[in-house]
Amino acid sequence: MGSDPSSTERPDTRGDRSARSDPSTGRPGRRPARRLRESDVTVVDKGMMRRAVGGMVVGNTMEWYDVGVYGYLAVTMGRVFLPTAEPGVQVLFSLGVFAATYIARPLGGIVFGRLGDRIGRQKVLATTLIMMAASTVLIGALPDFALIGVAAPVLLVVLKLLQGFSTGGEYAGATTFITEYAPDRRRGFFASFLDLGSYMGFALGASVVTVLQIVLGEQTMTAWGWRLPFLLAGVIGVVAVYFRLRIEESPVFQATQAAQEASTEARADAEGRPATVFAMVRQYWRPIVIAVMLVAASNTVGYALTSYMPTYLTDSLGYSAVDGTLLTIPVLVLLALMLPVTGRLSDRLGRRTVMWIGAATTIVLVLPAFMLIGHGEQWSTLLGLALLALMTALWVSNQAASLPALFPTSTRYGGMGFAYNIAIAVFGGTTPLIVQALLDATGDELAPAYFLMATSVLGAVGVFCMKESSQRPLPGSMPAVETSDEARELVRTQDTNPHLDLGDLPFGAVDAATPVPAGEPGR
């Protein structure tokens, strides 16, 4: 690189905004190593982008299909695996097993996250998907209490823990993968499809359960019909694995790996990656805490709507299992369709703005929502559920794009896997159990609403502390665009672009991996 004067001469930064300040924080920016060149900018392969989104969405659909099936069979599963207990104990047992799944998720997030940062996202995501599908199918084949006694609920817990371990690496890896593929200006839109797949998977699981409940009846469902939705997961899993194996590794990770192979300095940086989880927490404690707060807010609202409402409608409000499911399925479809809209909105207005709206909407409207649901009429229940869906859309649509942007490429999968799954273990899968316990302890039908208000206040603190990431390159990555024309425009306007901070771009690693010919534009 000695022949490249731009790598040794100090650039003229008199018109360079990034040398003066960071618009999202107001703090002075770092002086850039050199100018941005057109060859520095990643032009996204649209076909591969669509394949990446499809492969991640179908995997997340598989994960949430199981969540939906178990959530809507919670009462039935309690009867099957703890038939001698009181109905209230059966419900608490079933919700407790659901919560136990999330105990294993942090460990899965740590193990698969660190593997994903070392050997690649695609390989690890194929592994997590196979494990998820296998554990779900095995639940469908599990002997019940009548056949093997107390061993049945024990084995159910073991399989749900295995399922939780595998899903611990799924969402963090899928969001990392999509955000590393997506162009900067549309990252919120593309990433939101991941959660669209989640809620469509949940709706699919709920629909399958509902059809079986109508066709088979309650007695047959308890006898053997409950197995069918879990066994169907095997078919969905095969399709999902096929799509996922056809995806190439993310370009951002490939670029990082190439830089580490080509540059002694980059290899030293990679070797300086936190060696242990404790070292990672010490180094990245601030983004980890922010991520936990954001996930706490978004997922308590989301899980209250998806995993708790079926039980609440049947156990507390007296709806039949079929009616409770039929009331929530259209709301889940509405929620799924809202996610790309609010994701695109975050690309235009900013992630922080949309999440501020989500926090305010939850704090103001969650009490009226639960009052409407508790009113007991079908129209009021639907309206209350729709309000919960709006709150969920505003929070969740930003999650997949915002969380990966808190961490650099070298530790993105591991850092997000740890933070996300810790938050999910505490605030996500336990939400149905917590709100049911609050109802039982207080007798107040609005107790769940107060819990959701509190977590949204916590999420608002996280929004206040986070840095805006909309339309900006991911930390440790060069800009990504959709067309060559957009790349040329980005280079031309690099001094005045409010979304580009040259001082944050990894020029050294890029120069080490890709020598630039003399006369390249952007010197």
Superfamily (CATH) of domain 43-250+276-465: MFS general substrate transporter like domains (1.20.1250.20)
More reliable by pLDDT, 33 or 460: 460
Phi-psi region of 249 (alpha: psi -120 to 50; beta: other; left: phi over 0): beta
In this structure, what are the phi and psi dihedrals at residue 305, rounded to the nearest 5 degrees? -75, -45
In whole angstroms, how far apart are CA 284 and each of 121, 434, 464?
20, 29, 18
More reliable by pLDDT, 169 or 191: 191
Give the mean model confidence (pLDDT) for residues 19-43. 64
Question: Angle CA(416)–CA(42)–CA(115) in degrees, nearest 5?
Answer: 30
Is it the case that residue 7 has pLDDT exceeding 60? Answer: no
Report the percent of the chain where pLDDT is more than 70: 85
Which tens digit of pLDDT belongs to each residue from 69-114?
A: 887 787 888 888 888 878 778 877 887 787 777 788 888 888 888 8
With residues binned 3-state (H G I as helix, E B as strand, rest as coil), the percentages for the chain, rounded to 5, are: 75, 0, 25
Buried b (16+ CB within 10 A) or exposed e, 407-419: bbbbbbbbbbbbb
Q: Looking at the DSSP assignment, which residues form a beta bridge with residue 42?
A: 480
Is it the case that residue 207 has pLDDT exceeding 80? Answer: yes
β-strands 480-481, 42-43 pairing: parallel
Give the mean model confidence (pLDDT) for residues 416-429. 82
1-10, 115-124, 246-255: range with highest mean pLDDT:
115-124
Give the mean model confidence (pLDDT) for residues 38-64. 84
Is it the case that residue 258 has pLDDT exceeding 70? Answer: no
Query: Rg for the chain (alpha carbons), in Å?
Result: 24
- Can you give the pTM of this predicted structure? 0.80
Is it the case that residue 259 has pLDDT exceeding 60? Answer: no
Which tens digit of pLDDT belongs to each residue from 326-373?
A: 888 889 889 999 999 999 999 999 999 999 999 999 999 999 999 998
Domain definitions of the chain by residue range: 43-250+276-465
Which tens digit of pLDDT belongs to each residue from 125-168?
A: 888 888 888 888 999 999 988 888 888 888 998 998 888 888 88
